[in-house]
Amino acid sequence: MPDDAPQDEHAPDPSPESPAIADAATPAEAMTPGGYSYTIVDDTTDSAAPPMQSKSKRGGVPILIAAVAAIVPAAIVGVVVWLLASSGGGTSTSRLGGDMTTLLNAFSQGQPGTITTRYESTLAPGFPSDVPLYPGAKLLSSLSQVKGEDVSYVAIYDTKDSRNKVTELFRNKFKDDPWQIDGGQDGRESTLHQFSKINDPNVTGLVLVGSSKDGKTTTILESVQVTAGAKHAKAPAFATEAARTLPDGFPDSVPAFKDATLIESAYQTKAGAKSFVASYITKGDASGVLDFYRSTFKDAKFTVADGDASASALQDAEAIQFNDGKKQLVGGVTVGKFADDATYTRIDVTVQIKKPASTP
C-alpha cells in the first residue's frame, strides 16, 4: 500500500504465497486456497512437546503416533490420526474409500510451496516400484506431494484379509534386504511399521494397518518419503478447469483481466471491513496484466503505486497497490509465473472494503 494507506489488522495478506485471509487461521487451523477452514494436527518435533495422540473409540486408550510425526508431513499425520480414530467405527469399504479420498483432498490444500496431485485407483507416478505392497488389495486413492526437490507419496487400499495377516506380511517384507524396520507399534485397533532402505538413506516410510469394527475390512495406509526424488514424480499436463465464482460483494470496480480464469477465491467479514482474495490465471504476459490494472484504476480515479513483491512465492513476481482515494477500498495486484504451468501468468488480487464511519 502507499505510505498514506491505512494499516488495518483486517486487511488481506497481499502475498500469493498465502492467498487465503491471513488472520483467519489459528495455529491449529488452516484454510484451503478456496477459503475453507480445516484443522490439522501439530507435527512439532520439539522434544519438550508431548507426543501426538488419537483416542481409541472403543477403549479410550490414547494411541501414540510420535513415530509418525517424526517422518511424515503434517497433512499425512492428519490422515493417520483420522484412520486410527475411525478404524474401529465399523465403516463400510465404500464409505471408507469415499471419506479417505475426501480427506486426502482436504489435507492436500493450503501448503505453500507444495504441489499435490491426487490419483484415483492408481499409484502416483514415481511411487518407488520396489516398496512392498499388499498383494490383491484394492487401491482406493494415492497422492504425491512435491516440495522443492523432495517428494512424499501416500497410497491407501483395502483388503478382506485380516489385520493380523496383513501385519505379518509387512513385518516379513520389511525385514528383508534392502529394507529394515526402524520402529513400530501394535495396538488394539492398528499396527504401524516404520521402515527405511538400507542401501538408500533417501527413502523412508511407514505402513499403517487398521481394521473395521466387524473385522471384515482391513485398510492399509502406506507413506513413502523420497529425498531428492521429485524428478521422478511426473505431474500430469496442466489443463484449465471451469472458472470458480467470485464471492458475493466482490467490488465491480476491481475487474478480472480479459480472458483470465478465476481459479481460487476467499473472503472474510469482520466488524467494519470485508476482505477478499481472487486468484486468476491467463496466457497474457505479466507486464500486460499490470498495465491493464494500472489503466483501469486510474480511469476510476484510484490512486495507484508500485507494490513490493519480494515476499511473493511466484517466480518473477511484480505488484501494484491501489486505493479509491477515500481509503475505503484498498488492495493490491501481484502477478508472476503460474507454478503448475509457466506458460500461464498468475494474478492474485487482494481487496479490502471498509464500512464508512457512522455519522453521529
Averaged pLDDT score across all residues of the chain: 75
List the grid coordinates of 319.
505488484
Longest dimension (CA), the chain: 80
Q: Is residue 100 a part of any domain in this protein?
A: yes
Q: Is residue 211 a part of any domain in this protein?
A: yes
Burial of 105 (0-12, 13-18, 19+ CB in 10 A): middle
- The better pLDDT of the pair 315, 42 is held by 315
Instruction: Specify the 3-state DSSP secondary structure of 289.
Output: helix
Model confidence at 67: pLDDT above 70 = no
Residues 215 and 303 reside in one and the same domain = no
Residues 202 and 273 reside in one and the same domain = no
Q: Is residue 29 a part of any domain in this protein?
A: no
Residues 220 and 248 reside in one and the same domain = no
Q: Is residue 195 a part of any domain in this protein?
A: yes
- The better pLDDT of the pair 136, 67 is held by 136
Report the C-alpha gap between 110 and 17 in whole angstroms: 9
Domain that holds residue 314: 244-354
Q: Choose one of 182, 197, 232: the last residue of a domain.
A: 232
Residues 101 and 224 reside in one and the same domain = yes
Residues 97 and 57 reside in one and the same domain = yes
Residues 176 and 271 reside in one and the same domain = no
Q: Is residue 84 a part of any domain in this protein?
A: yes
Q: Tell me how many domains the chain contains.
A: 2
Residues 77 and 166 reside in one and the same domain = yes
Cα atoms found within 13 Å of the Cα of residue 359, Cβ hemisphere only: 0
The pLDDT confidence band at residue 34, using thresholds 50, 70 and 90, is very low
Section 268-297 average pLDDT: 94
- The better pLDDT of the pair 81, 150 is held by 150
pLDDT of residue 202: 92
Q: Is residue 237 a part of any domain in this protein?
A: no
pLDDT of residue 187: 83
Q: Is residue 210 a part of any domain in this protein?
A: yes
Q: Choose one of 192, 210, 232: the last residue of a domain.
A: 232
Q: Choose one of 183, 209, 232: the last residue of a domain.
A: 232
> Domain with 348 in it: what CATH number?
3.30.310
Residues 248 and 277 reside in one and the same domain = yes
Residues 259 and 220 reside in one and the same domain = no
Per-residue pLDDT reduced to its tens digit, 159-199: 999 999 999 999 999 999 999 999 888 888 788 899 999 99
Beta-bridge mates of residue 154: 143, 223
Model confidence at 208: pLDDT above 50 = yes
Range 259-264, long-range pairs (CB < 8 A, 24+ positions): 259/283, 259/284, 260/284, 260/347, 264/19, 264/33, 264/34
- The better pLDDT of the pair 95, 66 is held by 66
Report the C-alpha gap between 221 and 53 in whole angstroms: 18
Residues 158 and 203 reside in one and the same domain = yes
List the grid coordinates of 14.
497481499
Residues 120 and 215 reside in one and the same domain = yes
Structure pTM?
0.53
Terminus-to-terminus CA distance in the chain, angstroms?
30
- The better pLDDT of the pair 110, 260 is held by 260
Residues 159 and 253 reside in one and the same domain = no
Across 51-73, b (16+ Cβ under 10 Å) vs e yields ebebebeeeeeebbbebbbebbb
Model confidence at 256: pLDDT above 90 = yes
- Which of 177, 174, 233 shows the shortest CA–CA distance to 209? 174
Q: Is residue 239 a part of any domain in this protein?
A: no
List the grid coordinates of 86.
475411525
